[in-house]
Structure 1
Amino acid sequence: MENLHQITKLWLCACFALCISTMGLAQDDHLFVHHYDGSPYLKYKDSTEAITIGTKIDHNAKLVMHRDDTAYLLNKEGELIELHETGTFKYKDIVKLKPIQVKKTTYQKMMLYFWKEFTNNFDKNYTKSGFVYRGDYVKLLNPMDSLQVYANELKFEWEAKPDKTQPYYFILKEANSDKVIKIGTNDTSIILFIDGINLQRDKSYEWTVAESKFVNLETTNFSSFKILNKEEHAIKKAEAEELSGFLRSIGHDESEIKTMICRYYKLCF
């Protein structure tokens, strides 16, 4: 009888674990709108919602497509699903469609950046790099975090704090080094030249802006960037051209392509 009791407990635990696992998978089952043409919309049980770039589509929604509509939907594998048929489509029917066939190299890496970006927008508790932003945090604008850049100069920009009367302190750290530069300024931007003095090619850096010259660097949130050398630039440029060709083929114009590659693939020239 004791053995039967133990078996029953194990069976119940297994069922509970399976339910939790299934719930987790269900929450992870969704697509994001990468881009679209026309005016497709989502239909829920008691409401409708116009789609935009980054709209989430899951089991609770049906996608309504008109005659001239086209939607490109992104899955978590970094694949794009193209839908241009007229009708109302459930999530389970959309995911059965065959994704666009492309070389799964640089392209897929960029699409996974899109997935991460869209997911972060839905996570209300998401904070960059795991830091909780304090009230005195200065929002960094450019260059964006994890950027790869090839240029002769770099402009650093940050968001102005309301009623600010004291200087900002721009802080630059060279990766894997004790070298730290601090510059006080009343402006919300600063330009540094890549001249081998403050910034050098083929090196990585971190930067931030503080309201105090005595900020604790160990607990301060930094953004990072890498300055490419000539050889790295040639390789990255070839990758960008490959991505551009694909994005052009699915309807993006040159301005959109440049912005997308810079923002999501972190490659700006």
Structure 2
Amino acid sequence: MENLLKVNKSYVLLVVLCLTFQFSFAEKNKLFVYKYEGSPKIEVNDSLKIVKKGTVLDKHTKLIMQREDLVYIVNENGDVFELFQTGTFSYKELLAIKPITTKSSFAKTYFSYVWKEFTNTDVLRRDKSGVVYRGDDIILMRYPADSTKIYNNEIRFEWDRIPNKEKDYYFLLRHKDTKTITTIGTPVNTISLMVDGTLLQQGNDYEWAITETKFPNINKVPFYSFHILSNDEFKDVKANISLISADLKNMGFTNSEVQTAICEDFKLCF
């Protein structure tokens, strides 16, 4: 009987390990659409859906391409695949596409990071009005996103509006090291501050939040963090930015779209 229990326990452990491996393998082998042109679609369980940036492609989907369609697909390793042929492509066929050549190892790091962001299942909850929640906290902040690095003389903070709200929002800016907090009331959903060495200084880390009350419980306020790059810090990343910019331009991005993509996808805004 004791030997039988040992066998059963070993069998259960083996099954758990196999399922864990299969789940991990499936997660890692997801693809997602980074850029598209035209009107490509995916077929999921006999229903058609329009492809968007961030659309996940896996073994349950088929990609349907028409004559004018073009898609750029990214995998976990940061490889980029270009597809412009007409037809219906299974997940297996997409995996067989040869990746396009990038100009630097930084480009693969960039796309690998973006892959993790787009395939992350631990997403914030958003209600019908568009307001984002994390647990029981309302997350109004839109830009700069959490953990963003910024190189600019002026930072424009933006947040979601609360429907039918008439009273002021309260913008909170906290220096991450000193914990000093500046509070500004405003009836609109945006505010701009200069990086002039007073409230905002190059090379420093800050946090910001939006609340509905002037004196909130700071311990319960969800903050977003950001770092303002110094001139030297920006010089260190400028070469890599030029390389990834060249790759994005090869995909058809304009200069403005390149800046937006790197800011939104890699959280490096300049």
Common fold, TM-score beyond 0.5? Answer: yes
Structure 1: any 5+ residue segments left out of the alignment?
none
1:218-246 Cα offsets, whole Å, 9 max, x none, are 22111111111111122333222211101
TM superposition shift of 1:123 = 5.3
Partner SS for 2:71 = strand
Deviations 1:94-146 (A, max 9, x none): 213332232553312321343234225x656558xx94253xx3612332322
Q: Deviation per CA, 1:28-82: give whole Å up to 9, x if none.
A: 5321111223443323452333322221211122223345543211112222122
On the 8 A contact 2:82/2:99 being kept in 1, the answer is yes
Q: Is 1:79 aligned with 2:82?
A: no
Alignment-mate amino acid for residue 157 of structure 2: F
Counting aligned pairs with the same residue, the percent is: 37
8 Å CA contact 1:138–1:161 kept in 2: the answer is: no
Matching residue of 1:13? 13
For structure 2, which runs of at least 5 residues remain unmatched after alignment? 127-132
Alignment partner, residue 141 of structure 2: 140
- Indicate whether 1:181 and 2:182 are aligned: yes
Deviation at 1:4, TM superposition (A): 4.9
Higher Rg: 1
**Residue of structure 1 equivalent to 2:151:** 150
After superposition, the Cα gap between the structure-2 partners of 1:102 and 1:202, relative to the gap in structure 1 and judged at 3 Å, is same
CA–CA separation in structure 1 for the residues paired with 2:191 and 2:37 = 40
Change (3 A) 1:42 1:233: same
Partner of 2:242, secondary structure, is: helix
How far apart are the structure 1 equivalents of 2:118 and 2:4? Answer: 49
Whole-angstrom distance in 2 between the partners of 1:101 and 1:178? 46
Task: Specify the code of the residue in structure 2 equivalent to 1:49.
Answer: K
Tell me the SS of whatever aligns to 2:220: coil
Cα distance in 2, alignment partners of residues 3 and 61 from structure 1: 45
Task: Tell me the amino acid that sits aligned with residue 162 of structure 2.
Answer: K
In structure 1, the partner of 2:220 is: 219
Q: Report what 2:253 is aligned to.
A: 252
The separation in 2 between residues aligned to 1:88 and 1:25, in whole angstroms, is 24
Is the 2:79–2:108 contact (alpha carbons within 8 Å) kept by the matching residues of 1?
Answer: yes
**Aligned counterparts of 1:163 and 1:2: Cα–Cα separation in 2:** 68
**Letter matched to residue 144 of structure 2:** P
Q: What is the aligned-residue RMSD (CA, Å)?
A: 2.8
Question: Residue 170 of structure 2 aligns with which residue?
Answer: 169
Distance 1:133 1:234, change over 3 A: farther
Is the 1:173–1:205 Cα contact (8 Å) retained in structure 2? yes
Does the residue aligned with 2:179 lie in a helix, a strand or coil? coil
Q: Residues 85 and 218 of structure 1: is their aligned pair in 2 closer, same or farther, counting only changes over 3 Å? A: same
Please tell me whether the aligned partners of residues 81 and 99 of structure 1 are also in contact (alpha carbons under 8 angstroms).
yes
Shift in CA distance, 133/264, structure 1 to aligned 2, threshold 3 Å? farther
2:174 counterpart letter in structure 1 = K
User: What aligned pairs does 1:109-120 form with structure 2 within 5 A after superposition?
Assistant: 109-120=109-120
Letter in 1 for 2:223: F
- Residues 253 and 187 (structure 1 numbering): CA distance in 2 closer, same or farther, change over 3 Å? closer
What is the rounded CA distance, in whole Å, between the counterparts of 1:116 and 1:124 in structure 2? 12
Q: Distance in 2 between matches of 1:124 and 1:202?
A: 30
1:154-195 deviation digits (Å, cap 9, x = unpaired): 222323333434333221111122322122333433332222
Counterpart CA distance in 2 for 1:42 and 1:164 is: 39
What is the SS of the residue equivalent to 1:160? coil
Is 2:197 the counterpart of 1:196? Answer: yes
Looking at structure 2, the residues matched to 52 and 188 of structure 1 have their Cα atoms a distance apart, in angstroms, of 27
Letter of the structure 1 residue corresponding to residue 40 of structure 2: P
Name the counterpart of 1:236: 237
